[in-house]
Structure 1
Amino acid sequence: MNFEIVMQELEALSKERTKKIYLSNGAHEPLFGVATGQMKPIAKKIKKNQPLAEQLYSTGNYDAMYFAGIISDPKAMTEADFERWIDAAYFYMLSDYVVAVTLAETDIAQDVADKWIASGEELKMSAGWSCYCWLLGSRPDDEFSNSKLSAMLEQVQQTIQDSPVRAKYAMNNFIYTVGVSYLPLHDKAVETAKAVSPVEIKQEKGKSKFLHASENIQKAVEKGQLGFKRNYVRC
């Protein structure tokens, strides 16, 4: 299946309602408006195809870029490739749900994510923290440094309230994910969540939104979800 056929198949799956939802979340033209679940049958035919993924990602079309993440071969990508992808990720659904997810399936994930977190750039920071969430939610606890994650929780506690909006969301999710998916630091994550809650998200229009990681961790505890790990990072 070549580039032209994939673009045609994606366009055929477009829905105006889905397109409006994506636009309201920060996407811009060009895009079709394809529900991610509808991409799976096409992805099954292709499986992994990094050259095709690169062609699709370079279009700037949101749906094509998302689909590129599904069929990419993460282990064939270098740090320079991920830098190129994050530079082209113009809003959080690309940075956190395409680039960060793809990065989380590589051996360089933590090194690259650390650099992005330290960058001071909103979407790179968001992708970096999100990558750790994908990692923690899918890999065994013994793959992580307890002291490193502990220091990262302290960093979140000290900096989250003054961080850019999308970074706030990702950092708040990091606290939650450590609390639920990384058992050695569950108690510390709970303490951190209580210390920072609520995290205020100022909206351009209307009232502020508040994030409550501590409440969400408690809900996960009540549902028996402690230690949760995904089988797969990508859909």
Structure 2
Amino acid sequence: MFLKLYFGKTHFRGFEAISKRENNIQKVGFYNMDLKQIMIELEKMGTPTIKKIFVNHGAKEPLFGVKVGDLKKIQKKIKKNNEISLELYKTGNADAMYLAGLVADEKQIQKKDLQFWVKNAASPMISECTVAWVAAESKYGWELAREWIESEKESVSSSGWSTFSSLLSIVPNHQIESKEISKLLKRVESKIHKSQNRVKYCMNGFVIAVGGFYPELGEEALQTAKKIGKVEVMMGKTACKVPEATEYILKMRKMGKIGNKKKMARC
């Protein structure tokens, strides 16, 4: 798997533009469609090939296997619709849940909704992308990130670390508490190799995020990366690799990308 935060890629290398298929999707007014109609369209868009890729990356049934690029076609029609977003997430369908994150209104979504989302995220695709992105863009981002990393549930804790990473990518540096981030780096250094599988992956991503998005602690992040070294994470039935934090931070420096913020966490 491949971190998306840094070079405009998707969070997981398989989740978008896997294989091009000819599919002339009928132009319909998605913004006028109800949940049932959207689910019908999602089912039409799904393919066995993409479904298999998602399952190999940890997704669970039910799902249709819809490419992220196709989900974004629906997103462009729906735009932000918090009511539809919440309905989509509650279906438990992985494709619908990802779409829910794309169309969620970060200004309207409530903390209780995000708590429901994190508790019911059934795969890394949802817990580390969908939930973390929307949480970071909402007014509850810092609060929930702090809470979630304390959870003993792997998916919840990984959501917390991913939320911190997303916050660093979009929040102006003067609004970030450097002491808090420094403490989190020290926590990663001491606990990463003893943590749960996906939590290790997201902690590693957090170190990269600090090094890439928060210049004030860039050197500290690099030293943390060197100390933790290679992080072993079981990646399931995929050929994806865990990015080495030291290598990524240095690569971002070479490319002149340090401190470049994103407009939004979602992509």
User: Do they superpose with TM above 0.5?
Assistant: yes
Q: Does 1:171 align with 2:203?
A: yes
- Residue correspondence of structure 1 range 68-79 to structure 2 within 5 A: 68-79=100-111
1:118-172 per-residue CA deviation (whole Å, 9 max, x = no partner) reads: 1122111110110111111122111100111011101111110100010101000
Distance 1:24 1:214, change over 3 A: same
Describe the SS at the equivalent of 1:104: helix
Distance 1:47 1:211 in 2: 33
Distance 2:235 2:86 in 1: 34
- Residue correspondence of structure 1 range 188-227 to structure 2 within 5 A: 188-202=220-234, 211-227=243-259
Counterpart of 1:112? Answer: 144
Letter in 1 for 2:116: R
In structure 1, the gaps of 5 or more residues are none
Higher relative contact order (Cα pairs below 8 Å, separated by 6+ residues) = 2
Distance 1:199 1:42 in 2: 37
Q: Does 1:154 align with 2:183?
A: no
> TM-score, normalised on structure 1?
0.94
Counterpart of 1:28? Answer: 60
1:23-76 per-residue CA deviation (whole Å, 9 max, x = no partner) reads: 111112211111111112211221111121111111111001111111111222
Counterpart of 2:122? Answer: 90
1:82-123 per-residue CA deviation (whole Å, 9 max, x = no partner) reads: 111111101111101111111011111011110000112211
> TM-score, normalised on structure 2?
0.83
Q: Judge conservation of contact 1:172–1:213 (CA < 8 Å) in 2.
A: yes
Describe the SS at the equivalent of 1:118: coil
Describe the SS at the equivalent of 1:200: coil
In structure 2, the gaps of 5 or more residues are 1-32
Q: Judge conservation of contact 2:57–2:236 (CA < 8 Å) in 1.
A: no
Letter in 2 for 1:44: K
Distance 1:203 1:2 in 2: 37
Distance 2:104 2:160 in 1: 19
Counterpart of 2:9? Answer: none
Q: Judge conservation of contact 1:99–1:127 (CA < 8 Å) in 2.
A: yes
Q: Judge conservation of contact 2:59–2:124 (CA < 8 Å) in 1.
A: no
Distance 1:93 1:69 in 2: 11
1:206-225 per-residue CA deviation (whole Å, 9 max, x = no partner) reads: 9xx66521111111111111
Greater helix percent: which structure?
1
After superposition, the CA RMSD in angstroms is 1.8
Distance 1:164 1:17 in 2: 29
Distance 1:142 1:37, change over 3 A: same
Counterpart of 1:145? Answer: 177
Question: In the TM superposition, what is the alpha-carbon distance from 1:228 to its structure 2 partner?
Answer: 2.0
Distance 2:61 2:221 in 1: 39
Q: Judge conservation of contact 2:154–2:198 (CA < 8 Å) in 1.
A: yes
Q: Does 1:59 align with 2:91?
A: yes
Q: Judge conservation of contact 1:201–1:211 (CA < 8 Å) in 2.
A: no
Aligned residues between the structures: 234
Question: In the TM superposition, what is the alpha-carbon distance from 1:175 to its structure 2 partner?
Answer: 0.4
Distance 1:87 1:205 in 2: 25
1:172-229 per-residue CA deviation (whole Å, 9 max, x = no partner) reads: 01001100110100010011001101122256789xx665211111111111111121
